[in-house]
Amino acid sequence: MGEITTKAPFMAAPRCRFCNSEYTTYFRDIPLRRIKQNAPLYFCMVCECMWHPQDCVEPDDQLKRDAEWHISVEDRNTPWINNFLNAAVARKPIKSFIEIGCGTSTMRSIGRERGMDVIGYDTNPVAAPIALARHNIEIQPCLWGHDTLSKKYDLVVCISTLEHVPDPNGLIHEIATYCKRHGSAAFVSVPFTCERSQWHFLLEPVPKDISNPYYLSDVHINHFSRHGFEQMCWRHGATKVDFFPRGWIGYWLEF
Ligand SMILES: [Zn+2]
């Protein structure tokens, strides 16, 4: 009788980046196509979110391509922005908004045309000169200016940003703190994943198409389930976490 041995493909997983649970597991490696490396993707069995630890520092030419991508989707985004702003104004009298991760500032440009007071943040240095030339609008060159934001804005908009940041709890905390201080609302959108997309990724770990949420894994380091995102907002003191699919799939938050 031979000795029974097990060689489980186990890799110790860190605590959950989103909910701090210890019930996490290594899921599988995920290909980072830009730097041609793999990173370990982890899964939280409590909040059903995924993440990988690679914090990608993008080279200048990639930052330029990222900024140019924002211009390429302006025609697509314009009706989404109008759809979103119409719904937001119907929900609450919005006369001003902050945009975290404003890209080349299409939304703020449309907001300004509607007479709104707008301020925007983006860490991509290439976006600022494009926004200035295209929309004559300035960008604050950082993720978020909590310390300097003593001024009240009615709404905090954060679209397609939280999936990029290594500390998503930290950013939600900043948004929650600001909203509590000023009575502002927030709209946060990320490319949510679900069980179906997780299984699809498990079976086909090299996504072929940009519509797959795992395709841009160099820069999409967080994959939120809707359940995990909602729980995260409740933990940060939200009083309203309402599914609000207007243009983008996201949530209307109040704290
Ligand atoms: Zn979790």
- Ranked by mean pLDDT, the top range of 58-62, 65-69, 170-174, 217-221 is 170-174
In this prediction, residues 75-88 reach a mean pLDDT of: 96
What pLDDT score does 65 carry? Answer: 87
Q: Rounded to the nearest whole angstrom, what is the distance from the C-alpha of residue 44 to the centroid of ligand 1?
A: 5
CA distance 125 to 141: 7
Burial profile 172-193: b = 16 or more Cβ within 10 angstroms, e = fewer: bbbbbebbeeeebbbbbbbbbb
What pLDDT score does 96 carry? Answer: 98
- Ranked by mean pLDDT, the top range of 57-66, 185-194, 205-214 is 185-194
Q: Rounded to the nearest whole angstrom, what is the distance from the C-alpha of residue 154 to the centroid of ligand 1?
A: 30
What pLDDT score does 113 carry? Answer: 97
Rg (CA), the chain: 19
Q: Rounded to the nearest whole angstrom, what is the distance from the C-alpha of residue 194 to the centroid of ligand 1?
A: 14
Residue 16: which of 51, 67, 41 has the closest Cα?
A: 51
Q: Rounded to the nearest whole angstrom, what is the distance from the C-alpha of residue 41 to the centroid of ligand 1?
A: 13
pLDDT confidence band for 57 (50 / 70 / 90): confident
Please state whether beta strands 240-243 and 24-32 pair in parallel, antiparallel, or not at all (unpaired).
unpaired
Q: Rounded to the nearest whole angstrom, what is the distance from the C-alpha of residue 24 to the centroid of ligand 1?
A: 7
Q: pLDDT tens for residues 134-152?
A: 999 999 999 887 667 889 9
Q: Rounded to the nearest whole angstrom, what is the distance from the C-alpha of residue 178 to the centroid of ligand 1?
A: 24
Q: Rounded to the nearest whole angstrom, what is the distance from the C-alpha of residue 230 to the centroid of ligand 1?
A: 11
Q: Rounded to the nearest whole angstrom, what is the distance from the C-alpha of residue 157 to the centroid of ligand 1?
A: 24
Segments of the chain assigned E as strands = 24-32, 37-44, 50-51, 96-100, 117-121, 155-159, 185-189, 222-223, 240-243, 250-254
pLDDT confidence band for 69 (50 / 70 / 90): confident
To the question of domain 58-192+213-254 being in CATH 1.20.1560.10, the answer is no
Residue 205 phi, psi (nearest 5): -75, 0
What pLDDT score does 225 carry? Answer: 96
pLDDT confidence band for 211 (50 / 70 / 90): confident
Q: Rounded to the nearest whole angstrom, what is the distance from the C-alpha of residue 59 to the centroid of ligand 1?
A: 31
Q: Rounded to the nearest whole angstrom, what is the distance from the C-alpha of residue 87 to the centroid of ligand 1?
A: 31
What pLDDT score does 146 carry? Answer: 67
Contact 106, 131 (CB under 8 A): no
Q: Rounded to the nearest whole angstrom, what is the distance from the C-alpha of residue 245 to the centroid of ligand 1?
A: 24
Q: Rounded to the nearest whole angstrom, what is the distance from the C-alpha of residue 192 to the centroid of ligand 1?
A: 14
In this prediction, residues 99-112 reach a mean pLDDT of: 95
Q: Rounded to the nearest whole angstrom, what is the distance from the C-alpha of residue 43 to the centroid of ligand 1?
A: 8
Q: Rounded to the nearest whole angstrom, what is the distance from the C-alpha of residue 167 to the centroid of ligand 1?
A: 13
What pLDDT score does 79 carry? Answer: 95
Count Cβ atoms below 10 Å from residue 196 Cβ, excluding itself: 8
Q: pLDDT tens for residues 2-26?
A: 565 555 555 678 999 999 999 999 9
146 token code pair: 């909590």
Q: Rounded to the nearest whole angstrom, what is the distance from the C-alpha of residue 203 to the centroid of ligand 1?
A: 22
Residue 133 phi, psi (nearest 5): -70, -40
The helix (H) or strand (E) run that includes residue 33 is: none
63 token code pair: 């930052």
Q: Rounded to the nearest whole angstrom, what is the distance from the C-alpha of residue 225 to the centroid of ligand 1?
A: 10
Q: Rounded to the nearest whole angstrom, what is the distance from the C-alpha of residue 72 to the centroid of ligand 1?
A: 35
Residue with the larger pLDDT of the pair 229 and 208: 229
What pLDDT score does 8 carry? Answer: 52
What pLDDT score does 66 carry? Answer: 85
**CA distance between the termini of the chain:** 64
Mean model confidence pLDDT for the chain: 90
Q: Rounded to the nearest whole angstrom, what is the distance from the C-alpha of residue 27 to the centroid of ligand 1?
A: 14
Strands of the sheet with 24-32, listed across from one edge: 24-32, 37-44, 50-51, 222-223
pLDDT confidence band for 115 (50 / 70 / 90): very high
**Identity (one letter) of the amino acid at 210?**
I
**Residue 217 pLDDT > 60, yes or no?**
yes
**Residue 109 pLDDT > 60, yes or no?**
yes
What pLDDT score does 1 carry? Answer: 47
**Identity (one letter) of the amino acid at 52?**
H
